[in-house]
Structure 1
Amino acid sequence: MENEKNRRRTGTKYEKIAGEFLEKQGYRILEYNFRCRYAEIDIVAKDGEYLVFCEVKFRKTGGLSAALEAVSVPKQMRLSGAAVYYLMKNGCTEIPCRFDVIGIAGNKISLRKNAFEYCGDFGIV
């Protein structure tokens, strides 16, 4: 239980750092920690015309590339499901969207835009 609290606290800390980084890049943060039965999306933001679903990955070891590569295919599928749910719930299915990953390692931060494509079969094509 204590480990879960510490992980959640660490996650929140780095999600806020990532959000501030995105704002400096011109993104507008819409929501943190959108949860549904599929997954939790760390950050939902707007970048120009795009609705962006951001996954934040922090690594103590392994560097930025390890953080950026840490989103497995099963996780991508869960995030895709959560994104579809978000789009349907908010009536914004016609807005172009993408999945970005923010890697944080130590005091370094990196953004990978369009890190992966929508994957899964959630009733839309």
Structure 2
Amino acid sequence: MNARSALGRYGETLAARRLVEAGMTVLERNWRCGRTGEIDIVARHGDTLIVCEVKTRRRGDFEHPLAALTPRKAARLRGLADRWIQAHGGAPPGGVRIDLVGVVLPRRGAPVVEHVRGVA
């Protein structure tokens, strides 16, 4: 595992912890759909399915992690959500929501974890 993937994995662990603290149940992490892509975290909140993209950055990197969700990436996440639903028996009664968790790791001190609901 290289440093970049270790950084991403650490951020996803912090994000999953934040989602659980917010009352969600993590169903899967790093769900892959062939060459189409990957969903970082799939969770459930009540009867709503949450597809969560996680972006992790070190303090001082060029772009804040919450700015990394482009319209193209949002469209890809919607497509992946549809494929996850097809593979797991259909849409939940509460529908699907796409969330973003941004993790910033400062040089010193605790990580900053921001959760934004319904980004796409």
Q: What TM-score range do you get, normalising by the shorter chain? A: 0.7 to 0.9
- Match of 1:10, SS state, is helix
Runs of 4+ in 1 over 4 A off after TM superposition: none
- Match of 1:69, SS state, is helix
Question: Percent identity over the alignment?
Answer: 33
Shift of 1:114: 0.3
Q: Which residue of 41, 44, 54 maps to 2:42?
A: 44
Aligned twin of 2:104: 105
CA-atom RMSD in angstroms: 1.8
Q: Which runs of 5+ in 1 are unaligned?
A: 117-125
Shift of 1:115: 1.1
**In the alignment, is residue 34 of structure 1 matched against residue 38 of structure 2?**
no
Shift of 1:48: 1.4
Partners of 1:67 and 1:91 in 2: how far apart? 32
- Match of 2:2, SS state, is helix
Partners of 1:90 and 1:112 in 2: how far apart? 25
Question: Counterparts of 1:45-64 in structure 2 under 5 Å?
Answer: 45-61=43-59
Question: Counterparts of 1:1-125 in structure 2 under 5 Å?
Answer: 5-36=2-33, 37-61=35-59, 66-95=64-93, 96-106=95-105, 107-116=111-120
Matched residue type, 1:111 = H
**Structure 1-normalised TM-score?**
0.81
Shift of 1:78: 1.4
Aligned residues: 112
Partners of 1:25 and 1:62 in 2: how far apart? 28
Partners of 2:50 and 2:6 in 1: how far apart? 23
Q: Which runs of 5+ in 2 are unaligned?
A: 106-110
